[in-house]
Amino acid sequence: MQAAPLVIDVTGINKRFGDKHVVKDLSLQVREGEIFGFLGPNGSGKTTSIRMLCGLLTPDSGRGTCLGLDVLSESAAIKRQVGYMTQKFSLWDDLTIGENLDFVARMFGMQGRREVVDRALEELSLSGRRDQLAGTLSGGWKQRLALASCLLHHPRLLLLDEPTAGVDPKARRDFWEEIHRLSAAGITVLVSTHYMDEAERCHRLAYIAYGSLMASGTAAEVVASQQLHTWEISGDNLQGLGQALGQLPGVDLVASFGATLHVSGRDEAQLKASLETFLQGKKLAMSVVSASLEDAFIYLMQGTRDPLHG
Q: Judging by beta carbons within 10 Å of its beta carbon (0-12, 13-18, 19+), is residue 139 exposed, middle or buried?
A: middle
Say how many C-beta atoms besides its own lie within 10 A of residue 178's C-beta. Answer: 15
Interface with ligand ADP, residue 44, by CB under 6 A: yes
Helices then strands, counting H and E runs in the chain, come out as 11, 14
Q: Which of 6, 10, 22, 160 is close enough to bind ligand ADP by CB under 6 A? A: 22
Residue 39 binds to ligand ADP (criterion: CB under 6 A): no
Can residue 45 be called a binding residue for ligand ADP (CB under 6 A)? yes
Q: Which segment (24-32, 41-49, 225-233, 275-283) binds ligand ADP by CB under 6 A? A: 41-49
Q: Report yes or no: 229 and 264 within 8 Å, Cβ to Cβ.
A: yes
Q: How far apart are CA 257 and CA 250, in angstroms?
A: 20
Binding segment for ligand ADP (CB under 6 A), chosen from 45-53, 77-85, 145-153, 292-300, is 45-53
Options 5-13, 39-47, 76-84, 297-305: segment touching ligand ADP (CB under 6 A) = 39-47
- Phi and psi angles of residue 132, each rounded to the nearest 5 degrees, phi first: -80, 140
**Residue among 46 and 262 whose Cβ is closer to ligand ADP:** 46
Q: Of the listed pieces 46-54, 169-177, 249-257, 270-278, which binds ligand ADP according to CB under 6 A?
A: 46-54
Residue 230 as a binder of ligand ADP (CB under 6 A): the answer is: no
Q: Work out the number of other CB atoms within 10 angstroms of the CB of residue 172.
A: 20
Residues 247-306 that bind ligand ADP (CB under 6 A): none
User: What's the rounded Cα separation, in Å, for the pair 268 and 153?
Assistant: 53
Please give the residue ranges that form the binding site for ligand ADP (CB under 6 A).
17, 22, 40, 42-48
